Copies of this chain bind each other. A is one copy, B any other.
Amino acid sequence: MSTREHSGEAAYKVLARELRQAILQRRYVDGTRLPTEAELADEYEVSRQTVRRAFHDLVAEGMVYRVPGRGTFAAPRDGQYLRQFGSIEDLMGLSLDTQLEVLRPLRRKVDIDAASRLRLDSDVVHTVVFRRTHEGDSFCHTTVHLHPAAAAALGDVPELGEAGAVSDATIIGLLDTRLPVPIAEAEQSITAASADQTLADALGCGIGDPLLRVDRIYLTTDQQPVELAINHFLPEQYSYRVKLRRSTH
C-alpha cells in the first residue's frame, strides 16, 4: 500500500463530488478562482495528479473551466438551460415564449423500448404527451417518458395530470428543481420522420409531411437517465442551429 487506504471509492471521485457540490452551492460564483491543484492536494492529502484527475472529470461535465497560468473557475450556469458543449449559441429558447398543452396526461404505461432507453429493469415507464405552441401555432409534438423516480417527483404537478391543461413550464425545468440530483447533461439525436395521423392532427400538417425528430435523454450528474423526450417539429417553424468552432488545441 502506498500511504493511502482504499475506503471503497476512488479518491479522485470523492474530491470531484465535493467540488461539484461546492460549485452547485454557488460557493465559487462570478469569477472566483477555485483552489489551485497544489492547495487541494495539500488540503485533501492526495497528490496533485489525483486533483488533476478530479478536475479532468469536472471539465468534461462542464462544471468548471481552466486557464493555464490563471486558475480554475466554476462555469456559470444560467438556470435550467442546456447549451451545446463547446458552442456559444443557445440550444433553444423553448420555455421563453412557448406554451405547453397536455394531450394525454401523465400515466403509468408499459413501453419496452422507452424503458430500455432509460436503462430501467422493468418495462414500466410514466408517459405524458403534449404539444408546444408559439403565439397560437402548434410547432412541436412531444412524448415524454419518465423514470419512476422522476414521475414520482412530478406527481403533484396539476398541469400534467389532465388533458387540455395549459402551462408555460418545461418538464426538464420542473425535474431540475424537484429531483435531489441535478440534471447534468443530455444525449440528443436528430433525424427526420414523416407525420403519421396522430402527429398530423396535433400539428395541423398533412400525413406524410416531413418532420424534424429530436430525441433527448436527460441524465443526472451520476449518469442516471431520468427523462426521454421524443419531439417532432414542423420544419417550417423550427430549425436547429449550432455554431461549430475549431478546437483551440
Query: Given A60-B60, A86-B85, A87-B86, are A191 and B246 neighbors across the interface (CB < 8 Å)?
Result: no
Does A173 make an interface contact (CB < 8 A)?
no
Which residue of chain B is the closest to A238 with respect to CB atoms? B191
Point out the residues of chain B lying under 8 angstroms from A238, CB to CB.
191
A173-198 vs B: 1/0 string, CB under 8 Å? 00000000011111111111110000
Known: A191-B238, A193-B235, A212-B191. A87 touches B249 (CB 8 A): no
Known contacts A86-B86, A235-B191: does B243 contact A77 (CB below 8 Å)?
A: no
In the complex, whether A241 has a CB less than 8 A from a CB of chain B is yes
Chain B residue nearest to A62 in the complex (CB)? B245
B65–A244 touching, CB < 8 Å: no
- CA distance in complex: A184, B247 (Å): 9
- Check B210–A88 contact: CB distance below 8 A: no
Which of B210, B239, B244 is within 8 Å of A194, CB to CB? Answer: B210
Given contacts A65-B249, A247-B62, A248-B75, contact A188 B242 (CB under 8 A): yes
Q: State A62–B75 Cα separation when bound (angstroms).
A: 24
Contact, CB under 8 Å: A85 / B243 = yes
What number of copies of this chain does the assembly contain? 2
Q: What residue of chain B has the Cβ atom nearest to residue A194's Cβ?
A: B210
CB distance from A30 to the nearest CB of B (A): 12
- Residues of A within 8 Å of B, CB-based: how many? 56
Using A191-B212, A193-B235, A239-B191 as known contacts, say yes or no to A84 and B244 having CB atoms under 8 A apart: yes
Which residue of B has the minimal Cβ distance to A247?
B83
> Does A39 touch B at the CB level, under 8 Å?
no
The answer to whether residues A247 and B188 also contact, given A87-B86, A194-B209 and a CB cut-off of 8 A, is no
Which 3 residue pairs spanning A and B have beta carbons closest together?
A62-B245, A83-B247, A210-B210
- 15 new A-B pairs (CB below 8 Å) besides A83-B247, A191-B239? A77-B246, A82-B244, A84-B242, A87-B245, A88-B247, A182-B246, A185-B243, A187-B241, A188-B241, A188-B243, A189-B239, A190-B190, A190-B242, A192-B211, A216-B244
